[in-house]
């Protein structure tokens, strides 16, 4: 199989925000894993867990969505500011009815962003909050001058405003965020966004409206029609479920039948159809593609690990998840003209995580390694490839500063593949080559064996006279840079 890479053409830029993450007040997604508090025995900087932050810094997290998810529509930001011992304890009604002490609030979120070097993506509460509450939160965070909320922020220790890059108005408003109909939501959105203060006229806050659940095309059509001129992006939520059902049995994360390997791949690839169809509807209202599609929840969703709280959504992460990550990232790249941000759910310990923790231990998942290998595509220019690859293979070619990166995934459970890329005559040499692969379908890392599945140097590449030949094992992700 041969693909010709067209180096003469300039494609759209692959936004770095496609590599965005999401952390919700859910299970062990924040407490004990990202945030341990300043008095913890686990090494930390201002309460942020150092081993986890250091691992995340390596993958250059560009943006972090917070505080939810469903939690966002029950979150009242004032509960999470001021001295910690005075903060209100609430019940997290969406996720296990556990007590939330609000020790991780606005100041802690921006401290985490500072340490990660990531931008902010805040999701407002429009389900149980008010317009005034939302407007005052934005005033608290971003007002540079004298004002009641800016003064309160200073009183709580933060002199200068924080930059808020992205702002979500509603989360799953069609479901747990208010059970609204799209006609009603569109009006609610129009109202809330009217009162979103924009103090920094040079860097206005990017407004994200709640978009559809999976293939709800009517939602996209209605919101774009009624509110399209008031938004910068509209979200899409789609999770990969091996059994295709939200019922009792979504499929296990490990020890699954081979049929669930194939069904997982098929469902992951469905993202392409969803983006294509939603984008076509958007084209009708926005032919110049000024409004972006923001896939702010995606990833695998399995049955929770046995013995864990069902409300904590804790699952293992295997080489299968690495395939799902690569398939989705390649799809997002392909739609770089419309998809500006994506946020995998969720960064640590929840659903398709980068990192799992247990006490003071942590491990990197196979998904983490895909994000590590793929980061060379961030803000790179997408390159076109002409030619077919086998059914179970997907790839991206991109260029940044003269370096070409080809990342390719062979998600066949058994068959190895040989793929040739040509058209690369202006390039001289392979600069780096990595592979992530494993023998077993559910190979994964454990706290006893944290490096069972990890990145290694790839030796199956030959580059000669502009022709790159790759011998890809089954179940592998490979990333090559050429200079």
Known catalytic residues are 172, 297
Binding residues vs ligand AHR (CB under 6 A) = 24, 68-70, 171-172, 297, 345-346, 351
Closer Cβ to ligand AHR, 44 or 315, answer by number: 315
Residue 120 C-beta: closest distance to ligand AHR, Å: 18
Residue 63 C-beta: closest distance to ligand AHR, Å: 16
Task: Assess contact for 372 and 380: CB atoms under 8 A.
Answer: no
Q: CB count, 10 Å around CB of 315?
A: 25
Residue 289 C-beta: closest distance to ligand AHR, Å: 26
H-state helical runs in 2-128: 50-58, 106-116
Residue 218 C-beta: closest distance to ligand AHR, Å: 19
Task: Assess contact for 23 and 348: CB atoms under 8 A.
Answer: yes
3-state secondary structure of 477: strand
**Residue whose CB is nearest to ligand AHR in the complex, by number:** 69
Region of 40 (left: φ > 0; alpha: ψ -120 to 50; beta: rest) is beta
Structure-token pair, residue 86? 């005075």
Sign of the C-alpha dihedral computed for residues 264, 345, 323 and 396 taken in this order: positive
Closer Cβ to ligand AHR, 105 or 299, answer by number: 299
Residue 379 C-beta: closest distance to ligand AHR, Å: 26
Residue 121 C-beta: closest distance to ligand AHR, Å: 13
Residue 108 C-beta: closest distance to ligand AHR, Å: 19
Closer Cβ to ligand AHR, 68 or 105, answer by number: 68
Task: Assess contact for 18 and 342: CB atoms under 8 A.
Answer: yes
According to DSSP, the residues that pair with 343 across neighbouring strands are: 20
Closer Cβ to ligand AHR, 158 or 173, answer by number: 173
Q: Which residue has the tokens 């002199």?
A: 159
- Terminal Cα distance for the chain, rounded: 23
Structure-token pair, residue 47? 């309460």
Cα–Cα distance between 138 and 200 in angstroms, integer?
A: 12
Closer Cβ to ligand AHR, 73 or 412, answer by number: 73
3-state secondary structure of 207: strand
Sign of the C-alpha dihedral computed for residues 59, 56, 71 and 27 taken in this order: positive
Closer Cβ to ligand AHR, 71 or 261, answer by number: 71
Q: What are phi and psi of 248, to 5 degrees?
A: -60, -40
The gap from C-alpha 49 to its chain's centroid, in whole angstroms, comes to 20
Closer Cβ to ligand AHR, 24 or 232, answer by number: 24
3-state secondary structure of 275: helix
3-state secondary structure of 284: helix
Q: CB count, 10 Å around CB of 256?
A: 20
**Widest pairwise Cα distance in the chain:** 68
Q: Which residue has the tokens 């922020």?
A: 153
Strand order from edge to edge, sheet including 381-382: 381-382, 393-400, 403-410, 476-482, 430-437, 456-457
Closer Cβ to ligand AHR, 268 or 438, answer by number: 268
Burial of 209 (0-12, 13-18, 19+ CB in 10 A): buried
Residue 265 C-beta: closest distance to ligand AHR, Å: 21
Closer Cβ to ligand AHR, 211 or 423, answer by number: 211
DSSP state of 440: S
Task: Assess contact for 231 and 208: CB atoms under 8 A.
Answer: yes
Contacts of 305 (CB under 8 A, 6+ apart): 253, 314, 315, 316
DSSP state of 186: H
Residue 26 C-beta: closest distance to ligand AHR, Å: 6
């Amino acid at each position: 199989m041969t693909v010709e890479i067209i180096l003469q053409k300039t494609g759209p830029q692959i936004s770095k925000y496609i590599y965005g993450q999401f952390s919700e007040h859910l299970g062990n997604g924040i407490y004990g894993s990202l945030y341990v508090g300043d008095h913890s025995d686990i090494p930390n900087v201002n309460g942020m867990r150092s081993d986890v932050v250091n691992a995340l810094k390596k993958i250059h997290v560009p943006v972090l969505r917070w505080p939810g998810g469903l939690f966002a529509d029950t979150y009242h930001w004032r509960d999470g500011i001021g001295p910690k011992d005075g903060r209100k304890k609430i019940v997290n009604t969406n996720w296990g009815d556990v007590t939330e002490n609000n020790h991780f609030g606005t100041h802690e979120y921006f401290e985490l962003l500072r340490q990660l070097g990531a931008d902010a993506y805040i999701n407002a509460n429009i389900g149980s909050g008010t317009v005034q509450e939302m407007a005052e939160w934005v005033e608290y965070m971003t007002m540079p001058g004298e004002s009641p909320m800016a003064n309160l922020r200073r009183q709580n220790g933060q002199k200068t405003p924080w930059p808020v890059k992205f702002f979500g108005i509603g989360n799953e408003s069609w479901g747990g965020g208010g059970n609204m109909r799209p006609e009603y939501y569109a009006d609610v959105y129009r109202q809330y966004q009217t009162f979103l203060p924009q103090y920094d006229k040079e860097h206005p806050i990017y407004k994200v409206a709640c978009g559809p659940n999976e293939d709800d095309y009517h939602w996209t059509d209605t919101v774009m029609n009624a509110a399209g001129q008031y938004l910068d992006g509209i979200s899409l939520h789609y999770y990969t479920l091996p059994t295709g059902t939200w019922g009792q049995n979504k499929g296990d994360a490990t020890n699954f039948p081979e049929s669930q390997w194939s069904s997982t791949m098929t469902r992951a690839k469905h993202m392409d159809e969803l983006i294509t169809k939603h984008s076509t509807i958007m084209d009708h209202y926005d032919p110049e593609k000024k409004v972006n599609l923001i896939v702010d929840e995606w990833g695998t969703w399995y049955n929770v690990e046995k013995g864990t709280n069902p409300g904590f959504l804790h699952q293992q992460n295997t080489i299968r998840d690495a395939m799902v990550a690569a398939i989705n990232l390649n799809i997002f790249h392909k739609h770089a003209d419309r998809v500006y941000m994506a946020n995998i759910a969720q960064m640590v310990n929840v659903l398709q995580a980068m990192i799992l923790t247990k006490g003071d231990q942590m491990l990197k998942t196979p998904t983490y390694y895909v994000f590590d290998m793929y980061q060379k595509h961030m803000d790179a220019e997408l390159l076109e490839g002409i030619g077919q690859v086998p059914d179970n293979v997907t790839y991206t070619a991109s260029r940044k500063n003269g370096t070409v990166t080809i990342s390719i995934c062979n998600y066949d459970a058994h068959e190895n593949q040989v793929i040739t890329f040509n058209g690369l005559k202006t390039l001289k040499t392979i600069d780096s080559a990595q592979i992530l692969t494993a023998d077993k379908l559910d190979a994964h890392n454990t706290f006893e064996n944290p490096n069972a599945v990890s990145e290694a140097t790839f030796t199956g590449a030959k580059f000669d006279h502009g022709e790159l030949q790759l011998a890809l094992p089954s179940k592998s992700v490979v990333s090559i840079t050429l200079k």
